[in-house]
Amino acid sequence: MDASDAQEDDRMQELVAFDKTEAGVKGLVDAGLQKIPKIFVRPAEELAEDLNHKRAQIEVPVVDLGGLEKADRRKQIAEEVRTASETWGFFQVVNHGIPLNVLDEMLDGIQKFNEQDVEEKKKYYTRDNTRRVRFLSNHDLFRSRTANWRDTLTISFADPDQSDSKELPDSCRESAVEYSKNVEKLGNILFEILSEALGLDSEHLRNMECSKGHRIHSHYYPACPEPELTLGTTKHSDPGFLTIVLQNQSGLQIFFQNQWVDVLPIPGGLVINTGDLLQLVSNGKFRSNNHRVLVDRLAPRISVACFFSGPLGMENISYGPIKELISEENPPIYKEVLLTDYTMKFLTSGLHENYLLNYFKA
């Protein structure tokens, strides 16, 4: 066995040992760790590359959804969403209709889940993607180049009837159910606006079942003793149609015009980003942009990302560029793809290599 094989073998043993604890990154912090394990340390060339990128002082567009029921105002909102989706692939929304207490209680529930007794959390620890409720650290732990400094609780909502399920953890059951109901309504509104921004009928994307079912990934990024050496989430683009993000503090960054832009939280605001599937069906008109998450030395960061990635449990559906957006002057950039194949490609790749659209070019 040569040196590189031995090194990889050591790394795999470290990953297995970490996963077997079922305590996540929070378990490392609770053990009083002063230096982060090697599996979390980014490669030297990646750290050096970061020094070449400026930290921008520009801000992500903010869209005020107030007055959406008025025709002129709705047209203006659709135009703002169109511009943001074409250039940034990201925007924040205010006056979105979700009460502030629903947002606060969701963040509080996730904090309680992660900071409760570890034995209670272990009941939900699994790498089985078919489980409705999953707690784990790094879904791509054994495929990634570097492990990320975060733990995740994932809850799938395939249909409204599941909302009162007893499968959900006690610490966040009520808050997650209430948040899910509200974020589903907002998702449907955003898909209407995005349809109009593409020049289509307002129901077009919803009729494609883009908004049918969603998964809520609640990330907990513990305070880190060496934040400059690791990341909370590796640079990536989101695979689905649309992501709605609730965050309690800074850390999220977008790679825009060759520089990292901080997405600073707005009180009561939500971050919206268009994903790879929306770039695919819009034939490249809307952007799915790379982003990442930094970690903090002093305080844990909490974010709740709601992913709309097509109908859950109906992966035999296929998606391709919307026919109304195709012409001789604007031929299809992407192939039609079966959702099951698309999902499998995501699940069998590391987050760092996951620019899925490269695999589905026409």
SS3 350: coil
Q: How far is the C-alpha of 16 from the C-alpha of 19, rounded, in Å?
A: 5
Whether the CB-CB separation of 260 and 296 falls below 8 Å is answered with no
pTM, rounded to two decimals: 0.94
Over residues 285-293, the mean pLDDT reads 96
Domains identified in the chain, total number? 1
Predicted pLDDT of residue 139: 92
pLDDT in tens, 28-38: 999 999 999 99
Phi first, then psi: give them for residue 177, nearest 5 degrees. Answer: -65, -45
Tokens of residue 162, six digits? 């599941």
24 φψ region: left (φ > 0), alpha (ψ -120 to 50), beta (else): left
Residue 53: pLDDT above 80? Answer: no
Start-end of H helices in the chain: 3-21, 24-30, 44-51, 71-87, 100-115, 118-122, 173-197, 204-207, 276-281, 339-347
184 CA to centre of own chain = 16
Identify the CATH number of the domain in which residue 208 sits: 2.60.120.330
| More reliable by pLDDT, 338 or 324 | 324
pLDDT band at 315 (very low <50, low <70, confident <90, very high): low
Residue of 287, 210, 276 lying closest to 239 (CA atoms): 276
pLDDT band at 164 (very low <50, low <70, confident <90, very high): low
pLDDT band at 51 (very low <50, low <70, confident <90, very high): confident
Lowest mean pLDDT among 240-249, 250-259, 343-352: 343-352
Predicted pLDDT of residue 199: 97
pLDDT band at 160 (very low <50, low <70, confident <90, very high): low
Whether the CB-CB separation of 304 and 257 falls below 8 Å is answered with no
Quote the domain boundaries for residue 203.
3-360
Tokens of residue 205, six digits? 């994307």
Written in H, E and C, the secondary structure of 208-277 is CCCCCCEEEEEEEECCCCCHHHCCCEEEECCCCCEEEEEECCCCEEEEECCEEEECCCCCCCEEEEECHH
Residue of 178, 333, 186 lying closest to 271 (CA atoms): 186
Residue of 238, 239, 243 lying closest to 306 (CA atoms): 243
